[in-house]
Structure 1
Amino acid sequence: MNAYEITVITLAILVTPVMFWMLGKEFRKHKSNTPSSNF
């Protein structure tokens, strides 16, 4: 493994939880904006 691969893997490990957190926040925001929907 070279430095580029290590950098990409480290960025992926750091960015993935942030992406899930942002997606979850957006999902909850949309869910609270539309209480009549079952989603």
Structure 2
Amino acid sequence: MRVIMNMADSIYCLAHGELLASGAPEEIQNDQRVIDAYLGAH
């Protein structure tokens, strides 16, 4: 994941076939929706 974050200008995250979030790596890394979808809600 670190390689992708360092190389990408924009990242698109999909959840259940739909766009969940898009933006700069820093934005995606801190997006609570992405965290919940990929790591589980706590």
Q: Which has the higher helix share?
A: 1
The TM-score range, normalised by the shorter chain, is: under 0.3
Q: Which has the higher strand share?
A: 2
Rg (Cα) greater in structure: 1
Normalised by the length of structure 2, the TM-score is 0.26
Normalised by the length of structure 1, the TM-score is 0.27
Greater relative contact order (Cα < 8 A, sep 6+): 2
